[in-house]
């Protein structure tokens, strides 16, 4: 199987290479593509050097699947061109997520929306992915009415420039600023750009994408995005109000028995999810599960996941694995 990786030299692209190897995705020919300045350089895949090509060259080779992590403008330009030659595109940018005809997929939640006709498939925002993995089993049982979520997002969600800023500040040296404020020993409620309603684009993504993936436009969602000085792993404080009454022990067991979730919930032993221990793992970790004492039919919990893996690379490759299991990648 020919597999193109567009954006192979980027932060997420490098993790995608690692995940393709680890999960032993059946790649017979890897086609790493990147910007013109990287063409001709090589990357390592399964111990071998593979030459980076232009995106145009990758299209000519007609891969079965093209996994994108190259930004919205590249996806807008090139995803349709891959689709025209019969390639299925799994796109990690925000470009296609809210198009009604484009599936927005987290395999544990809504792989059932995929068909062989889908030639462009959107990978959700990293913070949305971990949220809906935790929400979905509870929604299926109790029906969600309202969600209030505050995210504590690591600097890798912004990119290499933000990581460099954090480390430079920690070392007391000057670096290019990815943020309008210092990030080391600091946090600020600012992810994306501010909209007229006072929310940010990152917060709006959580609203729109959660509704689309779960498949219920009536769910009320309010989000606050906070950037914190952590290198890998996003955390979320989640409050959910259900339409129906729930049993707390039953809700914990639902989470514990759901695909892609690890419950870490023993506060007496200081056992709860933390980004430090989610790094490099593919599961969504859920803990601090407790009844909301201020509101009936409501629950609180804490969700942590590696934003470069399940929040990006792993989810995209799981989509490709699902397509392949159906025989839809040729």
pLDDT in tens, 232-246: 999 999 999 999 999
Q: Which residues are catalytic?
A: 126, 234
> Packing angle between helix 126-142 and helix 201-214, nearest 10 degrees?
40
- Token pair of 59 as six digits: 């299209």
pTM over 0.75: yes
Contact in structure between 248 and 290 (CB atoms under 8 Å): yes
Rounded distance between C-alpha atoms, residue 203 and residue 225, angstroms: 6
Considering only the C-alpha atoms of the chain, give the largest distance between any 2 of them, rounded to a whole number of Å.
61
Instruction: Spell out where 187-266 has E strands.
Output: 220-227, 234-242, 261-263
CA distance 21 to 90: 18
Residue 266, CA atoms < 13 Å, CB-side half-sphere: 4
Q: What is the pLDDT of residue 242?
A: 98
Going by the DSSP 8-state scheme, the letter that residue 87 receives in this structure is P
322 three-state secondary structure? helix
Mean pLDDT, the chain, rounded, equals 97
Sequence spans of domains, the chain:
2-124+312-325, 127-307
Task: Give the model's confidence band at 330: pLDDT under 50 very low, under 70 low, under 90 confident, else very high.
Answer: confident
In terms of Cβ atoms closer than 10 Å to its own Cβ (0-12, 13-18, 19+), residue 69 is: buried
pLDDT value at position 175? 86
pLDDT in tens, 74-84: 999 999 999 99
The string of DSSP letters for 244-286 reads S---HHHHHHHHHTSTTEEE--BGGGTB---HHHHTT--SEEE
Question: How far apart, in whole angstroms, are the C-alpha atoms of residue 51 and residue 82?
Answer: 20
Average pLDDT over residues 219-243: 98
Angle ∠(107,110,113) on CA atoms, nearest 5 = 110
In CATH terms, the fold of domain 127-307 is Dihydrodipicolinate Reductase; domain 2 (3.30.360)
Candidate CATH numbers 3.40.50.720, 3.30.1330.90, 3.40.50.620, 3.30.565.10; the one for domain 2-124+312-325 = 3.40.50.720
Residue 249 has pLDDT above 80, yes or no: yes
Pick the closest to residue 245 from 187, 291, 209, 205 (CA basis): 291
């Amino acid at each position: 199987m020919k597999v193109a990786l567009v954006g192979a030299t980027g932060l997420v692209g490098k993790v995608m290479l690692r995940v393709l190897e680890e999960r032993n995705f059946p790649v017979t020919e890897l086609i790493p593509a990147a910007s013109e300045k990287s063409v001709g350089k090589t990357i390592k895949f399964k111990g071998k050097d593979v030459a980076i090509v232009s995106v145009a060259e990758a299209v000519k080779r007609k891969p079965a699947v093209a996994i994108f992590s190259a930004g919205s403008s590249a996806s807008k330009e090139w995803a349709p061109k891959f689709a025209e030659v019969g390639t299925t595109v799994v796109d990690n940018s925000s470009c296609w997520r809210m198009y009604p005809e484009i599936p927005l997929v987290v395999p544990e939640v809504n792989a059932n929306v995929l068909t062989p006709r889908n030639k462009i498939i959107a990978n959700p925002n990293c913070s949305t992915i971990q949220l809906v993995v935790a929400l979905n089993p509870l929604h299926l049982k109790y029906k969600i009415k309202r969600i209030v979520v505050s995210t504590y997002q690591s600097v890798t969600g912004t990119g290499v420039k933000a990581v460099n800023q954090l480390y430079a500040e920690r070392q007391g040296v000057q670096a290019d600023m990815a943020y309008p404020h210092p990030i080391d020993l600091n946090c600020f409620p600012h992810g994306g750009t501010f909209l007229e309603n006072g929310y940010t684009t990152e917060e709006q993504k959580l609203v729109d994408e959660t509704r689309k993936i779960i498949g219920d436009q009536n769910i009320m969602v309010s989000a606050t995005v906070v950037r914190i000085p952590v290198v890998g792993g996003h955390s979320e404080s989640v409050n959910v109000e259900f339409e129906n009454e729930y049993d707390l022990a039953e809700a914990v067991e639902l989470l514990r028995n759901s695909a892609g979730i690890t419950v870490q919930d023993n506060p007496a032993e200081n056992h709860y999810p933390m980004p430090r221990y989610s790094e490099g793992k593919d599961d969504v970790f859920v803990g601090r599960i407790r009844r909301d004492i201020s509101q009936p039919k409501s629950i609180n919990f804490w969700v942590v996941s590696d934003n470069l893996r399940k929040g990006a690379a792993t989810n995209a490759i799981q989509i490709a694995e699902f397509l392949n299991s159906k025989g839809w990648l040729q």
